[in-house]
């Protein structure tokens, strides 16, 4: 529970301070084993801090509201709202001189240094794995290494960030780290740095865990999405899922299926490709994660400016059979969730060599489609007929709670106007601050 947000909302609604203290102290004692006196003192302290940080007018201390909530717009839910928000983030960042920047919607960024490509990527742990820290650490590490590998890069180091709420048990940071280093040590990529903090400091009570893992890699040949070309073939590997499928299994009562996700098949296959002569003939690679194949193919078509054709039956044949059965029983679209499969985009003459390398690594594959000239769009072939193949507002609802909230509560165009307004204001503030800082007369004393 965010007690600061609770108090701020109540003060803004005009509630009496005594009522806020009474209700907040009661909520605090539901979570913390503290006396009534301490809970009331805590509530009074929060009210004081909220009052001191309200109605501030400085440019630095205010932001233009979008009046659109994260959940309403589907941010983080790997659908149309999330993709749109990321496009706005890219606009605020702007052109940076990177070889592969955020505007290309790849999962990793690339710069050139010392004659080689340096790749950086970071992934957030699955939000619903807070009570399963080893799984959270394992799957987020696997995810960030995937993003590095599919850029054609050899991972060289990992870094970690973990935040546990004030009442979370310290063991969570240890179990999370064990999950990270299990993957890292098997793949011989060291965890070298990180940060450990409490979520919101004293202002968030509860046991929630969140965090991320990042990776840095090096490459001589990059396989960015923009390199996909007309005539290329789409080759996909088998996928049993990662954090998303583990979450589905846990919260729908299929805990035995979590074991299906504990593998490094993708990473070992990608590592084999990097060590082979065929890598330089591959145009692009990605992992099937962001809203499932629906989201990834949509982004690839837009970035590459080409028509991507996908054969549904071939894709379904690559979903781990046990996982596929669970998804079918729960009526969850396998093409709309993260399968943690690898997608290789390469010329037809190269695909046989790619398949051979992956087969020798013990990774099952199939050709699932092709790239054509024409309007930049994703197309799904179902029962021999071409149909629309676009991401939904949110990725396929894969928990009972997600099925409840899986709907647009407001008009998308109305929300988009607010998002545009907030992004434009943030960009303007960035430019104001750059101009202000640039005018400072910086003086660096001589260091002896």
Residues carrying CATH 3.90.650.10, the chain? 224-398
Binned at pLDDT 50, 70 and 90, residue 410 comes out as: confident
Which superfamily does CATH assign the domain made up of 224-398 to? PurM-like C-terminal domain (3.90.650.10)
Name 357's Cβ contacts closer than 8 Å, sequence gap at least 6: 269, 272, 273, 276, 278
Q: Is the pLDDT of residue 237 over 70?
A: yes
Specify whether domain 105-222 bears CATH 3.30.360.10.
no
Task: Kindly report the number of other CB atoms within 10 A of residue 59's CB atom.
Answer: 10
Is residue 446's pLDDT more than 60?
Answer: no
- Please count the residues of the chain: 448
Residues in a beta bridge with 288: 341
Nearest to 248 by CA among 311, 366, 333, 182: 333
Q: Is 234 or 401 the better-scoring residue by pLDDT?
A: 234
Given a cut of 90, is residue 52 above it in pLDDT? yes
- Residue 152, pLDDT above cutoff 50: yes
- pLDDT confidence tier of residue 97, bands split at 50, 70 and 90: confident
Predicted local distance difference test score (pLDDT) of residue 95: 86
Q: Examine the pLDDT at 29 and tell me if it is beyond 60.
A: yes
Residue 78 scores a pLDDT above 80: no
pLDDT of residue 448: 38
Average pLDDT value for residue range 102-108: 81
Segment 184-202, tens digit of pLDDT = 999 999 999 999 999 999 9
State yes or no: pLDDT of 239 exceeds 50: yes
Q: What is the pTM of this model?
A: 0.91
- Whether residue 159 has pLDDT greater than 70: yes
Q: Which of 301, 313, 312 is nearest to 372 (CA)?
A: 301
Collapse the DSSP code of 436 into the 3-class scheme (helix H, G, I; strand E, B; otherwise coil) and give the result: helix
pLDDT tens digits, 419-433: 999 999 999 999 999
**What does the longest C-alpha to C-alpha distance in the chain come to?**
76
**Confidence band for 407, pLDDT divided at 50, 70 and 90:** low
pLDDT band with cut points at 50, 70 and 90 for residue 404: confident
Give the pLDDT band of residue 440 (cuts 50, 70, 90): low
CATH 3.30.1330.10 placement within the chain? 105-222
Report which listed range, 247-261, 284-298, 427-441, is most confident. Answer: 247-261
Q: Which two tokens stand for residue 141?
A: 């590490």
Question: What is the distance between the terminal CA atoms of the chain, rounded to a whole angstrom?
Answer: 51
- Provide the percentage of residues in the chain whose pLDDT is more than 90: 79
* pLDDT at res. 443: 54
Q: How far apart are CA 78 and CA 267, in angstroms?
A: 23
DSSP 54: S
What's the average model confidence in pLDDT over 136-156?
A: 96
């Amino acid at each position: 529970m965010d007690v600061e947000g609770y108090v701020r909302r109540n003060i803004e609604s005009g509630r009496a301070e005594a009522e806020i203290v009474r209700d907040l102290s009661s909520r605090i004692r539901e979570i913390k084993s503290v006396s009534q006196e301490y809970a009331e003192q805590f509530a009074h302290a929060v009210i004081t801090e909220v009052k001191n940080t309200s109605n501030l007018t400085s440019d630095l201390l205010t932001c233009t509201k979008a009046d659109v909530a994260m959940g309403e717009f589907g941010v983080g839910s790997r659908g149309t709202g999330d993709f749109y928000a990321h496009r706005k983030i890219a606009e605020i960042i702007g052109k940076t001189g990177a070889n592969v920047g955020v505007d290309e919607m790849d999962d990793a960024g690339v710069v050139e240094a010392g004659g080689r490509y340096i790749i950086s990527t970071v992934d957030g742990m699955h939000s619903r794995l807070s009570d399963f820290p080893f799984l959270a650490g394992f799957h987020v590490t696997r995810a960030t290494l995937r993003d590095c590998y599919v850029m054609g890069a050899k991972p060289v180091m990992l870094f970690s960030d973990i935040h546990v709420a004030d009442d979370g048990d310290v063991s969570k940071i240890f179990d999370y780290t064990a999950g990270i280093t299990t993957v890292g040590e098997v793949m011989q990529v060291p965890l070298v740095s990180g940060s450990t903090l409490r979520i919101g400091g004293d202002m968030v009570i509860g046991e929630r865990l969140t965090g991320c893992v990042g990776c840095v890699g090096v490459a001589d040949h990059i396989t960015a999405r923009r390199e996909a070309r007309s005539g290329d073939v789409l080759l996909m590997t088998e996928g049993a899922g990662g954090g998303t499928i583990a979450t589905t299994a846990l919260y729908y009562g299929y805990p035995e299926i979590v074991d299906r996700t504990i593998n490094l098949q993708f990473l070992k296959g990608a590592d084999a490709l990097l060590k082979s002569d065929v890598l330089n003939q591959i145009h692009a690679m990605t992992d099937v994660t962001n809203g499932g194949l629906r989201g990834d193919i949509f982004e690839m078509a837009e970035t590459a400016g080409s028509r991507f054709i996908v054969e549904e039956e071939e894709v379904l044949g690559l979903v781990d059979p046990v996982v596929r059965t669970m998804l079918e029983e729960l009526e969850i679209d396998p093409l709309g969730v993260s399968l943690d499969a690898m997608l290789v985009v390469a010329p037809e003459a190269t695909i046989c060599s790619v398949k051979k390398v992956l087969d020798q690594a013990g990774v099952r594959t199939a050709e699932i489609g092709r790239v054509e000239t024409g309007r930049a769009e994703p197309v799904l072939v179902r029962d021999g007929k071409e149909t629309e193949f676009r991401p939904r507002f949110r990725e396929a609802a894969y928990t009972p709670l997600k099925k409840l909230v899986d709907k647009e509560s407001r008009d998308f165009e109305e929300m988009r106007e607010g998002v545009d307004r907030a992004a434009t204001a943030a960009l303007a503030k960035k430019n104001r601050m750059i101009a202000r800082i640039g005018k400072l007369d910086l003086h660096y004393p001589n260091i002896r």
